[in-house]
Amino acid sequence: MSNRPSDILFQLIKSLEKAEKRHFKLYIKRSSAKEDLKIIQLFDAVDKLQDYDERVLLKKLPGTEKRQLYNLKTHLYKEILASLRLLKSADSIDLQLNEQFDYAHILYKKGLFHQSLKILEKTKETAKANQKFNFLTMVIALEKRIESLHITRSMLDKMEQLADEANEISRHIDMVARLSNLALQLYSWFIKHGHVRNEKDETSIVQFMKDNLPANAWEQPGFYEKLYLYQSYTWYAFIRQDFLMYYRYTQKWTDLFKSQPVMIRVETGHYIKGLHNLLNAHFDLRNFQKFKITLHEFESFAATNRVVDNDSFRIQAFIYIASAKINYHAMTGTFKEGLPLVPGIEEKMNDYALFVDTHRILVLNYKIATLYFGSGDFATSIDYLQKIINNNSDLRDDLQCYARLVHLLAHYELGNTGIMESLVRSVYRFMAKMENLTVVEEEMLRFLRNSFDVPTKKIKPELEKLLSKIKHLEKNRFETRSFAYLDIISWLESKVYEKPMSAIIYDKYKQSKKRHYRK
């Protein structure tokens, strides 16, 4: 599971489906008199490579020098994009709008002003119906140019109408930009730091939200204003670990799409992300029944042509559904039953390695590691945790910290006492440096450090003391981040009650189901 950097042409060709490759060759042969085009030879040579190697590529292209290869690659890259634009235009509102705008612009340049305005009017209606307001600025700008430079007599008050439209769209775009910036900045904060660690983080994020949320944000009626407002509150709540608030806004996020179904097709990626966050909210709150319902809904949507036929959506949906399935086994204690998922996830992640971001790879590695940890396969859990620990990116300080903590616990479980003392010191230094130590982690590390001198027969009372110390912290918001990454309470209870961790969690799951049915 590595997101390998690669040549952009190699990456593009490897992303193509069979139908897309076939369409490209037909497209390029139609536009050329030669059957043995050099770029077709280059396309075939790159397509056959397992990994990009320019020396190997040049050997496959006799008569082509290195300086010529750059120009050939640039030309091929542009031609592939042109071919994809033709093939994919029917599936994309954005491509359709741009195509119509291009036609209008060509007609304008030809001096056919009325024909140009007619296309622009229809294009404007389509853009409004799909809430593509950013695109409307270009349409109105061309309309204004035609009306101001040429007497079309299309409408006497046309200029005033266009001016009003331009002002309204400008206000709308400004609000969408401010709210989308806020949502993006909050999400970026989480990707970098994870959840709030202390009062300082809490004060900082609350003040940031207060300073950047537009005063009249809640009064905006538009789809995009609401979408980015709900996203902003989703990240804000998640960062602060207010999981009930997180659930409410992820639900608003997905409900917004259901109230305007046409937007599911227009903004499919945002809808998929909303379902993913709703599943995470159900996981955090242990809403078992709602989790299953939402997962079924997500899987059904992922099977539609809209997702299956789009590379980006298909990969995005796969990653989120895989993550959700692991979460389900984690919250029900069915870790061993979840292990058969791993080979399929690994296979797909290798297929998608060029297109998956490092953050997603880190998260999936961590989830797989906890799946093996919960099933009692601590050695394999360590293998996956090492992939995170050895990663040099500056993403998710929190994930780096908890990977090290679980890595330490896995060695403890394996009885690797020879390395425990140095590991404890290393984890403590790392978490302290990242300002990631909570009371729970300090107590855990203190216990592990002192356990070296405690006889085996006396370790159980020490575990009972530790469980008693940290159990009451389960509801403390600045401590719950520890429990979100690994169910430390259930792990300790498994040691105290001498039962597998999976059995402890499964018993809690069954008790929760009984309470649900009594209601």
Cα–Cα distances (Å) from 484 to 250, 257, 516, in that order, read: 18, 29, 22
What tokens were used for 131? 């809430």
Q: What is the identity of the amino acid at 478?
A: F
Through-space distance between the first and last CA atoms of the chain, rounded to whole angstroms: 44
76 and 109 together in one domain: no
How far apart are the C-alpha atoms of 248 and 250, rounded to whole Å?
6
Residue-number span of the structural domain to which 17 is assigned: 8-90
Same domain, 148 and 12: no
- CATH code for the domain in which residue 496 is found: 1.25.40
Is position 138 within any domain? yes
* 506 lies in the same domain as 392: yes
State how many domains the chain has.
3
Phi/psi at 306 (5° precision): -55, -40
- Burial of 252-284, coded b for 16+ CB within 10 Å and e otherwise, reads bbbebbeeeeebbebbbebbbbbbbbbbbbbbb
Are both 394 and 516 inside the same structural domain?
A: yes
pLDDT 10s digits, 313-347: 999 999 999 999 999 999 999 999 999 999 999 99
Task: Tell me which residue has tokens 């939402």.
Answer: 294
The answer to whether residues 83 and 115 belong to one domain is no
Residues 120 and 79 in one domain: no
Same domain? 58 vs 123: no
The rounded percent of the chain whose pLDDT value lies above 90 is: 50
Burial class (CB in 10 A: 0-12, 13-18, 19+), 200: exposed
What mean pLDDT is reported for the chain?
88
In a domain, 265, yes or no: no
Q: Of the given ranges (186-200, 210-224, 408-422), which has the lowest mean pLDDT?
A: 186-200
Residue 421: phi and psi, rounded to 5, are: -60, -45
20 with 126, same domain? no
pLDDT in tens, 139-187: 988 888 887 776 555 555 677 777 888 888 888 889 999 999 999 999 9
Q: How far is residue 56's CA from residue 62's CA, in Å, rounded to a whole number?
A: 11
24 shares a domain with 83: yes
Cβ-contact 447, 464 below 8 angstroms = no
Band of residue 478 on the pLDDT scale cut at 50, 70, 90: low
Residues 462 and 482: their CA atoms lie apart, in Å, by 20
Tell me 497's DSSP state.
T
DSSP annotation string for 128-148 = HHTT-HHHHHHHHHHHHHHHH
Indicate the SS3 state at residue 111: coil
Which tokens go with 260?
């305007």
Q: Please check whether residue 170 lies inside any domain of the structure.
A: no
Residue 198 in any domain: the answer is no
pLDDT band at 194 (very low <50, low <70, confident <90, very high): confident
Whether the per-residue pLDDT at 268 is higher than 70: the answer is: yes
Which pLDDT does position 197 carry in this prediction? 77
Is residue 209 domain-resident?
no
Tokens of 208: 């940031």
Condensed to tens digits (0 to 9), the pLDDT of residues 416-440 reads 888 988 999 998 898 888 776 778 8
Q: Which token pair is 10?
A: 């190699």
96 and 80 in one domain? no
How many whole angstroms separate alpha carbon 343 and alpha carbon 362?
Answer: 17
DSSP secondary structure, 280-301, as one string: HHHHHHT-HHHHHHHHHHHHHH
State how far the Cα of 440 lies from the Cα of 487, in Å rounded to an integer: 12
**End of a domain among 154, 189, 206?**
154
Give the DSSP H or E segment for 121: helix 113-129
| Residue after which a domain boundary falls, among 154, 185, 206 | 154
Least confident range from 77-91, 198-212, 267-281, 473-487: namely 473-487
Do 391 and 407 belong to one domain?
A: yes
Do 103 and 64 have their domain in common? Answer: no
CA atoms within 13 A on the CB side of 417: 8
In which region does residue 42 sit, left (phi positive, over 0), alpha (psi from -120 to 50) or beta (all else)?
A: alpha
Residue 353 covered by a domain: yes
- Cα–Cα dist 273/284, whole Å: 16
Higher pLDDT, 90 or 205: 205
Task: Compute the Cα dihedral for 60, 66, 72, 78 and give only its sign.
Answer: positive
Has residue 232 got a pLDDT over 90?
yes
Asked if the structure places residue 216 within a domain, the reply is no
SS (H, E, C) 46-91: HHHCCCCCHHHHHHCCCCCCHHHHHHHHHHHHHHHHHHHHHHHHHH
Question: Does residue 219 lie in a domain region?
Answer: no
Q: Which stretch of DSSP H or E encloses residue 109?
A: helix 93-109
Residues 142, 117: contact at Cβ < 8 Å? no
Token pair of 511 as six digits: 């008790």
